[in-house]
Amino acid sequence: MPTQTAYFQGSFVPLAEAKIGIMTQAFLYGTACFEGIRGNWNEDDGTIYLFRLREHYQRLRMSGRILRIALPLSDDELCDLTVELVVRNGYSEDIYIRPIAYKSEEAITPRLHDISDDFLIFVTPFGNYLDSEQGIRCMTSTWRRVEDTAIPARAKVNGMYVNSALAKTEAQENGFDEAIMLDERGHVSEGSGENICIVRNGKLITPSPSDNILEGITLDTVVTLARDELGIETVHRSIDRSELYIASECFMTGTAAHVTAVVEVDRRPVGDGKTGEITQRLQRLFFDAIRGKNDKYSHWLTPVKPQSSGQPEDRQGVKAERVP
Ligand code: PMP
């Protein structure tokens, strides 16, 4: 079996050895923040393209400001470290990178001040998360999205994902693929791990940043592609639940979820119950951009090229280099 490598306590170690103690404050109280970053494998040129790496670290730094966790390295250093870790793992398939900044002290108090923190990264192979081919069926969750006055959703706080897990399990155990959460005012906020967007009158509409959402990097990507490639404007404003029922299209965006059509909400078809035309066009643009098939968007990508790309089984010891 190959050795998977993590970055842990300041050095590269086998993943199996990257362990934290059971009294670690982040484990006890969820006092940590994280990112999810995709590396998309392009079979044609044998390259993994890390997507919007710097923006993910900028968002992690912002989450850390809210949780009073300082990142130990600059954005450049974090990007270089991540590339090095991807190289060391030697995957030639789609991957998911998880950096976590966490309260590392062993302490029995749920506080943010006067407590040490640390930073780690691991990498794991990762395929499709939602069915972006067929589209998904969603339900409006009975769970409300955490409010900015409780746990700020714009920070990617580990403990906050209990809210997501409650909604996701409720949705799946009721036969749906994903949950759509409303905030306390009844406005649509987001999915358990995705932003949401509807199409009405040819425009994209997505909840405003004050509707208790994570300010998604995939959403920003789609908004840019819609504007620059399709001439479609995006309106950021509150969305009512009933608007989901009359939208002509609806889709979710996320690092794990990519761009996935929502074809049914609360047992009502969205539009004609199939992936809408604008969603399809955005999906094509998005998938080309993330796999390095559209040079116009190469600034979003950090290519990592294994020198001799092997199957996952022989990745140990595979040499790799960063493409400038
Ligand atoms: N909302 C939540 C709650 C999420 O967990 C995610 C996934 N990170 C998103 C939205 C989408 O954000 P991004 O496109 O940056 O992955």
Sequence ranges of the chain with CATH classification 3.30.470.10:
5-127
Nearest C-alpha to atom 5 of ligand 1 is from which residue? Answer: 193
> What is the position in ligand 1's atom list of the atom closest to the CA of 156?
5
CB distance 32 to 101 below 8 Å: yes
What is the Å distance from ligand 1's center to 215 Cα? Answer: 7
- The mean per-residue pLDDT over the stretch 192-215 comes to 98
Active site residues: 156
Q: Which residue's CA is minimally distant from atom 10 of ligand 1?
A: 194
Please tell me the distance between residue 274's alpha carbon and the centre of ligand 1 in angstroms.
24
Q: 1 CA to middle of ligand 1, Å? A: 32
What is the number of the ligand 1 atom nearest to the C-alpha of 220?
A: 14
CB contact at 8 A, 182 and 211: no
Query: How far apart (Å, rounded) are the C-alpha atoms in residues 269 and 262?
Result: 9
On whether the CB atoms of residues 51 and 37 are closer than 8 A, the answer is: yes
What is the DSSP code (8-state) at residue 150?
Answer: T
- What CATH architecture applies to the domain 136-290? Alpha-Beta Barrel (3.20)
Q: Which CATH class is domain 5-127?
A: alpha beta
Between 18-27, 105-114, 213-222, 314-323, the lowest mean confidence (pLDDT) is in 314-323
Q: What is the pLDDT of residues 100-148, one digit of tens each?
A: 999 999 999 999 999 999 999 999 999 888 888 899 999 999 999 999 9
Question: Where residue 2 falls among pLDDT bands split at 50, 70, 90?
Answer: low
Does position 321 have pLDDT exceeding 70, yes or no?
no
Pull the structure tokens for residue 230.
């399709």
Q: What is the pTM of this model?
A: 0.94
Shortest-distance Cα residue to atom 11 of ligand 1: 254
Segment 224-258, tens digit of pLDDT: 999 999 999 999 999 999 999 999 999 999 999 99
**Atom number, ligand 1, closest to the C-alpha of residue 153:** 3
Q: Give the three-class secondary structure for 95.
A: strand
- Domain(s) labelled CATH 3.20.10.10 in the chain stretch across 136-290
Q: What is the mean pLDDT of residues 259-275?
A: 97
What is the rounded CA–CA span in Å between residue 193 and residue 186?
19
**Measured distance CA(268)–CA(264) in Å, rounded:** 5
What pLDDT score was predicted for residue 236? 98
